[in-house]
Structure 1
Amino acid sequence: MSKYIIVGGVAGGATAAARLRRLDEHAEIVLFERGEDISFANCGLPYYVGDVIAERGDLLLQTPAKFRGMYNVDVRVCSEVVRVDTAQHTVEVRSADSVYTERYDALLLSPGAKPLRPPIPGIEHPRIATLRSVQDADRFRAMMETGRSVVVVGGGFIGVELAENFCERGLSVTLVEAMPHILPVFDTDMISLLEDELRRHGVELVLGDGVAGFEEQSDGGICVRLGSGREVHGDFVALAIGVRPDTSFLEGSDIALGARGHILVDEYMRTNVPDVYAVGDAVLTRSAQTGKEAALPLAGPANRQARLAADSMAGVGRAYRGVIGTAALKVFGRTAAATGQNERALQAAGLKYGEDYRFTVIFPRHHVTYYPGAQEIALKLMFRTSDGVILGAQAIGSEGVDKRIDVIAAAIGQSLTVADLQEFELSYAPPYSAAKDPVNMAGYAAENILQGRSVPLLPRELAAEVAAGAMLIDVRPPEEYHTGEIAGAQRIPLPQLRERLHEFDPKTPIIVCCKMGLRGYLAEQILRAHGFTAKNMVGGYYYLRMQHEEEI
């Protein structure tokens, strides 16, 4: 009879334990969890802080007793594995009343990641807290009983979700981010939609300014000193500046770790040591797109890795394909989602826009416009110029966002192209979509660029084109002018374009811009058919406005 030891519960460890039991009814399975809870909804913690999830018990997906009864697993909570001896196949465990050794035949490591707490002066103040456990969430709820203002340090997923939930509870919220923008998974041309949404709901954003120190005030509040010399104040501070793998207990063992402490694993979730496997936020796996090492602390990959690791431990394993990086979050009335590589990652890998990759930005409605409630989605799709393979996508809107990104994520997972997106047969009824789904539309727009039927121009390229003598034409109808002026553009509504072609110099390049890009594309085709050199502004005026381009 095999004996499996699992270190850590939640998404990785508990999932693996349940899978192992389904594969082997007679195995001995022991699960060690340092905390009080074997399996809890850690992704739901910000919403418990915000009282969206009102009942604490709803976060507890499995109690130790329930898990034992259902899966016959020896669950030992409040028991921390402090050392692994791979030569002896043992782990050293520290519980409340003893330290003891337990032997294994196969070991699964799922220790997770812990919040970063860099050595900033004053960071140990008791009203500066991080969010990792249900107990941490309890602590925030307690501080909210007396505190009316909070400084959130960090503009990643957790920081933004906490900022929203604090704001919804009536607190005054300041969010501090050292980088120029929040949420680095999104490109800077898209992120303004979310930053504007936060500001619209009263969240003060302090961007491009890191924390230099914390000081307690005479009233019990905390002064957060920033690198610029500016000071912001809150009754308490939520620290959300990232995580690092919780693997210090493996230092000195034979288990190989990466530069930042991640456990190195192969495609079967095996470490470099026989009979030792690892999953979750603490592991360094590979990108399914590039094959390069990647660490992605998300619940979805952790669950899939856990199932595959359990299969490998039981001798029925198959290879893990790697991570794509698909995620979504709610920011008040908007949903934002992304999958694959963003433009920053492509450029960091040495790829050049125009030569190696391009992208399109479209603004379709999430369902047909004649059915009430149709909402716009800002959808950015990146693709390889050589063959149209989809590289990544980002979408932001109030409805239908996650659905579209999930479809594109599936396409990326199969290395499909923008031409394939055009052929997807997706569910349609007026309340849910359109006969041409936004995913299809993104494929059409990208294919037009790929085949040379449309020559795109980005806002960042516009100034140089105009300076070189290009003519800029605004083809929007007059009723749309109130949304904003495209400075320097000659206004010629699309229906008048054909009858005014004689006004243009055939030797002068022309740039066309409309509201969202579609009418600009039509104008581009008219001009090119009559011998003019024309380019279409990607995403139209909407895309310009997203980047706060007030003047051209």
Structure 2
Amino acid sequence: MKVLVVGGVAGGASAAARLRRLTEAAEITIFERGPYVSFANCGLPYFIGDIIEEESKLLVATPAKFKKWFNVDVQDNTEVISIDRKAKTITARNVLTGEQRSHAYDALVLSPGAAPLKPPLPGVDLPGIFSVKTVPDSRAIKAWIAEHSVKQAVVVGGGFIGIEMVENLVHRGIKTTLVEMLPQVMPPFDPEMVEPVHERLAAKGVELCLGDGLKAFEQQAGGNGLVVHTASGKALPADLALLVVGVRPETSLAKEAGLTLGQRGIAVDAHMRTSDPSIYAVGDAVEIKDWVTGQQTLIPLAGPANRQGRIAADNIAGRSSTFRGSQGSSVVGIFGLTLAGTGASEKTLKRLSIPYRKVYIHAGHHAGYYPGAKTIDLKLLFSPEDGKVLGCQAVGEEGVEKRVDVVAAFMQKGGTVFDLEEAELCYAPQYGSAKDPVNLAGMVASNVMRGDHPVEHWDAVDWPAVAADPSALIVDVREPGEVARGAVEGAVNFPLSSLREKLHELPQDKKLYVYCQVGLRGYNATRQLLLAGKDAVNVSGGFRSWQQAKL
């Protein structure tokens, strides 16, 4: 059996290695149009930032390793330019010599990846403007920084790579401006969850141009450096500009071969087969199912690409294996801050009109009495019908990705908020709390589901109108010293510590909107008020969520 793999890196390389582990009765060849068949593209920003000092550390597997370990032939610097499905052959061209050759296959795996978007704007091809996709890209950027003594840079695009590049340029002492067309960085996340990221970027001296698109590039007078023009009229001087505004799936080879395409990428079934049963497709070019929403989507992440490659190999080897879809679990680090998420965002659920409820918690990453506890801000989204977890986002300095990973694992098994409430997790003071943040999120959400904890949200109410409404009252249950540092306008202060003695002072005929600093005291106060026969709701996340919502 002859198996050809078009493209290496995560999906293609995984398919080849997995297939060899399943059978020795196959001739396997990988065609890679670049010079590196398997490299850690997620590590490129850190190589540019000199965190990873040796380029060789980025090379996961070389052609020699593929041959010695797996008896897989690798033809690097070789681009597959056409597929003849009837003859079951491909035509490959050596990009260095131009020589073309035909190769027969019994099974073909397409892993062409995705290409960086390059908007057709004036000056986009000027020297000093780079994308960040390959090892040669990163090598060229490092050389440009050294040769031109780069002191200021502009990064266009506030997604994963854009944020990582900002951090690494600043690490190298380069003053950096970030331009993002949307009003927030990290668009897959909900806006209130990235507000701490905005604050951290600004604190590190990064100039943020949010809600401002790219208009044009031009060369500075004298041909030394660039000027980046934004849609709002800003002119940003730069010695270096990085375009990281997203990627486009490489579907041209599949399209020219007559394979079925979806709205976003190459269409495949659960076995990773295309519309031709002899051809499989994996990785960033493939349209897959969002496991939470059921919608077809693109999720260009290394983890799903690796799994897809393994699944394609299983099926080629005769094992029935399926890909269930992806929930888009992801994480990014920003100057000591970690932002992580899994599943659907609130923005997505709203857009698709999927019913949901949400809660916020702000809890320490380990026991508060043990030195060094850091706050995790966590948002949990769940179904109002059965409590099934739909998504989770968290941000903080320590322990963030651990909690999101736990929620992601529960989600894969169809877990509910009641499961999170009961989750038995490791505990010692320096690692967590007896009630872990995951448990706390589950407890809060479970109480909401049971009707024990009526909640409201800062972004769902017209608070000036509530403050002026004679039938409503905003109740701040923090201590006076906390209130003095900031409070919601129109709120009255009834500290939880003395609330029981003063319950009679709160009206029986008004709806009471209760809040504290992070939500826990507000919950306790709400229970007291409800048991006293009053109409009360706790505002989820307390004053900390108010501040993050920028209200």
Short-chain TM bin: over 0.9
Partner of 2:513: 511
Partner of 2:170: 167
1:127-142 → structure 2 map (5 Å cutoff): 127-142=128-143
Deviation at 1:232, TM superposition (A): 1.3
Partner of 1:60: 59
Partner of 2:479: 477
Verify the 8 A CA contact 1:113 1:246 in the aligned structure 2: yes
Deviation at 1:392, TM superposition (A): 0.2
CA distance in 1, matches of 2:228, 2:380: 39
1:4-83 → structure 2 map (5 Å cutoff): 4-83=3-82
Deviations 1:110-160 (A, max 9, x none): 010110001111111121100110111111111222211110000111111
CA distance in 1, matches of 2:407, 2:510: 39
1:139-158 → structure 2 map (5 Å cutoff): 139-145=140-146, 146-158=149-161
1:437-516 → structure 2 map (5 Å cutoff): 437-460=436-459, 461-463=461-463, 464-469=465-470, 470-516=472-518
Partner of 2:245: 241
Deviations 1:20-78 (A, max 9, x none): 11111131001100011111110000111111111111101111112211110011100
Deviation at 1:482, TM superposition (A): 4.7
Partner of 2:116: 115
Verify the 8 A CA contact 2:197 2:334 in the aligned structure 1: yes
- Give the AA of the match of 1:317: S
Partner of 1:88: 87
CA distance in 2, matches of 1:465, 1:450: 25
- 2:296 aligned residue (286, 293, 298): 293
Partner of 2:363: 364
CA distance in 1, matches of 2:234, 2:297: 36
CA distance in 2, matches of 1:199, 1:228: 20
Partner of 1:520: 522
Partner of 2:433: 434
Q: Does residue 546 in structure 1 map to residue 544 in structure 2?
A: no
Secondary structure, aligned partner of 1:466: helix
Partner of 2:219: 216
Verify the 8 A CA contact 2:152 2:175 in the aligned structure 1: yes
Partner of 1:207: 210
Gaps of 5+ in 2: none
Deviations 1:334-392 (A, max 9, x none): 001000000000001013xxxx2110000110110111111100000000111111000
Deviation at 1:450, TM superposition (A): 1.3
Verify the 8 A CA contact 1:366 1:438 in the aligned structure 2: yes
CA distance in 2, matches of 1:548, 1:289: 29
Deviation at 1:210, TM superposition (A): 0.6
- 2:269 aligned residue (266, 273, 290): 266
CA distance in 2, matches of 1:519, 1:359: 18
1:344-363 → structure 2 map (5 Å cutoff): 344-351=347-354, 356-363=355-362
Secondary structure, aligned partner of 1:534: strand
Verify the 8 A CA contact 2:467 2:491 in the aligned structure 1: no
Deviation at 1:247, TM superposition (A): 2.3
CA distance in 2, matches of 1:202, 1:10: 35
Deviation at 1:486, TM superposition (A): 2.6
CA distance in 2, matches of 1:228, 1:100: 51
CA distance in 2, matches of 1:56, 1:380: 38
Deviation at 1:251, TM superposition (A): 3.0
Partner of 1:254: 258
Secondary structure, aligned partner of 1:93: strand
TM-score by length of 1: 0.97
Q: Which moved more, 1:123-132 or 1:376-385?
A: 123-132
Deviation at 1:289, TM superposition (A): 1.9
CA distance in 2, matches of 1:377, 1:462: 27
Deviations 1:441-491 (A, max 9, x none): 100000111111111111121514334331111111234235423322111
Verify the 8 A CA contact 1:309 1:317 in the aligned structure 2: no
Aligned pair count reads 543
CA distance in 2, matches of 1:149, 1:246: 32
Verify the 8 A CA contact 2:8 2:111 in the aligned structure 1: yes
CA distance in 1, matches of 2:207, 2:419: 42
CA distance in 1, matches of 2:502, 2:374: 34
- Give the AA of the match of 2:545: Y
Verify the 8 A CA contact 2:466 2:474 in the aligned structure 1: no
Following TM superposition, the consecutive aligned residue runs of length 4 or more in structure 1 with deviations greater than 4 angstroms are none
Partner of 2:333: 330
1:219-230 → structure 2 map (5 Å cutoff): 219=222, 220-230=224-234
Deviation at 1:316, TM superposition (A): 0.5
- Give the AA of the match of 1:477: E
Q: Does residue 387 in structure 1 map to residue 386 in structure 2?
A: yes
Deviation at 1:259, TM superposition (A): 3.4
Secondary structure, aligned partner of 1:497: helix
- 1:533 aligned residue (517, 523, 535): 535
CA distance in 1, matches of 2:494, 2:462: 19
- Give the AA of the match of 2:501: E
Deviations 1:368-427 (A, max 9, x none): 011111110000000011111100000000000010000111111111110011111111
CA distance in 2, matches of 1:81, 1:465: 64
Q: Which moved more, 1:283-292 or 1:340-349?
A: 283-292
- Give the AA of the match of 1:116: L
CA distance in 1, matches of 2:484, 2:492: 15
CA distance in 2, matches of 1:251, 1:507: 67
